[in-house]
């Protein structure tokens, strides 16, 4: 299989025909893994495509991968969700490409939002970490009630409910642009700081010296016998 023939692109209304298949892929993979997954309806997926909030991978006319973004708390938080790759196309680096494109989409559309990802998948944790996501507890995430409604379709929802929305079986990871965009130190920063401190020290010594004068010493001209 040639991966270079697979196109990973932003989805639009022309891709709505693939919504049914995407839901089927998500459902089948959740059943196979026996893990929790929030169910998606084809209309929901189609809506994401029409609103430019999804990424699709196509091999010719066949949809082989998908992911989308969701906004919460009036755009303060954006979740990258629903990542799926057709079982026949796995382990080819396709999820990496889809995840990167979805990340790019979220950053372009919501540059100031905190991005988060909820997952039980090791592969997704790896990809998130590479993009700069950090693991967090649930308290760090959106408190939007609508968001939690999305978890109601998950088989582990009772765990979340029992723990008062503080603990569940998923891993929570967040990308905070305010933390990530902080300027990084250059390699020469420690040398530069050492030199600056040394210069300051010298300057302080010189100014102190001006204020300081030698104590007057009486010099006796008398010769000792
Ligand atoms: C998880 C999934 C999206 C990965 O897709 P993929 O195209 O095979 O992933 P990639 O080939 O881009 O691999 C990305 C990394 O994850 C690793 N990886 C992939 N599948 C893995 C697995 N099942 N277990 C552990 N690591 C895995 C790869 O080795 C790679 O790591 P590397 O770069 O260090 O070698 C795909 O298996 C899938 O659709 N699973 C079902 C749905 C799902 O779990 N979605 C996530 C919901 S949050």
User: Residue 165: is its pLDDT beyond 90?
Assistant: no
Residue 160 forms part of a structural domain: yes
**Ligand 1 centroid, distance to 90 Cα (angstroms):** 7
Residue 218 forms part of a structural domain: no
pLDDT for position 7: 96
- Structure confidence by residue, pLDDT tens digits, 122-134: 999 999 999 999 9
Cβ-in-10-Å burial (0-12, 13-18, 19+) of 56 comes to buried
The CATH number linked to 144 is: 3.40.630.30
- Which H or E run contains 97? helix 94-109
User: Residue 85: is its pLDDT beyond 70?
Assistant: yes
Domain span at residue 165 reads 3-180
**Ligand 1 centroid, distance to 124 Cα (angstroms):** 6
Residue 220 forms part of a structural domain: no
Closest ligand 1 atom to residue 94 Cα is 7
Residue 189 forms part of a structural domain: no
- Structure confidence by residue, pLDDT tens digits, 169-209: 888 999 999 887 666 678 888 888 899 999 988 888 877 66
- Model pTM? 0.80
Mean pLDDT of the chain: 86
User: Residue 107: is its pLDDT beyond 80?
Assistant: yes
Residue 167 forms part of a structural domain: yes
Residue 119 to residue 104: CA distance in whole angstroms:
19
- Structure confidence by residue, pLDDT tens digits, 21-50: 999 999 888 888 776 566 689 999 999 999
Residue 217 forms part of a structural domain: no
Instruction: Please give the tally of structural domains in the chain.
Output: 1
**Ligand 1 centroid, distance to 177 Cα (angstroms):** 25
Q: In the predicted model, what is the mean pLDDT of residues 62-91?
A: 93
User: Residue 224: is its pLDDT beyond 70?
Assistant: no
132: region left, alpha or beta (phi > 0 left; psi from -120 to 50 alpha): left
- Ligand 1 lining (C-beta closer than 6 Å): 29, 83-85, 90-96, 119, 121-124, 126-127
Q: In the predicted model, what is the mean pLDDT of residues 128-148?
A: 85
Report residue 219: phi and psi, to 5°: -105, 120
Residue 151 forms part of a structural domain: yes
Residue 88 to residue 194: CA distance in whole angstroms:
56
**Ligand 1 centroid, distance to 78 Cα (angstroms):** 22
Residue 199 forms part of a structural domain: no
Q: How many other C-beta atoms are found inside a 10 Å radius of the C-beta of residue 225? A: 3
């Amino acid at each position: 299989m040639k991966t270079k023939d697979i196109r990973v692109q932003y989805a639009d209304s022309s891709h709505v025909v693939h919504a049914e298949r995407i839901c089927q892929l998500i459902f089948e993979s959740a059943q196979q893994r026996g893990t929790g997954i929030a169910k998606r309806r084809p209309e929901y997926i189609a809506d994401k495509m029409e609103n430019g909030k999804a990424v699709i991978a196509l091999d010719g006319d066949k949809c082989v991968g998908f992911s989308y973004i969701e906004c919460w708390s009036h755009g303060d938080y954006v979740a990258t969700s629903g990542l799926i790759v057709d079982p026949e196309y796995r382990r080819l680096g396709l999820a990496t490409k889809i995840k990167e494109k979805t990340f790019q989409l979220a950053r372009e559309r919501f540059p100031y939002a905190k991005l988060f990802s909820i997952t039980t998948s090791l592969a997704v944790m790896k990809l998130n970490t590479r993009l700069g996501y950090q693991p967090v507890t649930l308290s760090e995430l959106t408190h939007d009630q609508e968001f939690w409604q999305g978890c109601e379709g998950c088989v582990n929802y009772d765990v979340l409910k029992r723990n008062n929305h503080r603990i569940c079986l998923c891993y929570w990871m967040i990308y905070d642009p305010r933390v990530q965009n902080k300027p990084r130190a250059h390699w020469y920063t420690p040398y530069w700081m050492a030199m600056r401190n040394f210069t300051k020290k010298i300057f302080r010594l010189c100014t102190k010296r001006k204020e300081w004068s030698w104590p007057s010493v009486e010099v006796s001209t008398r010769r000792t016998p």
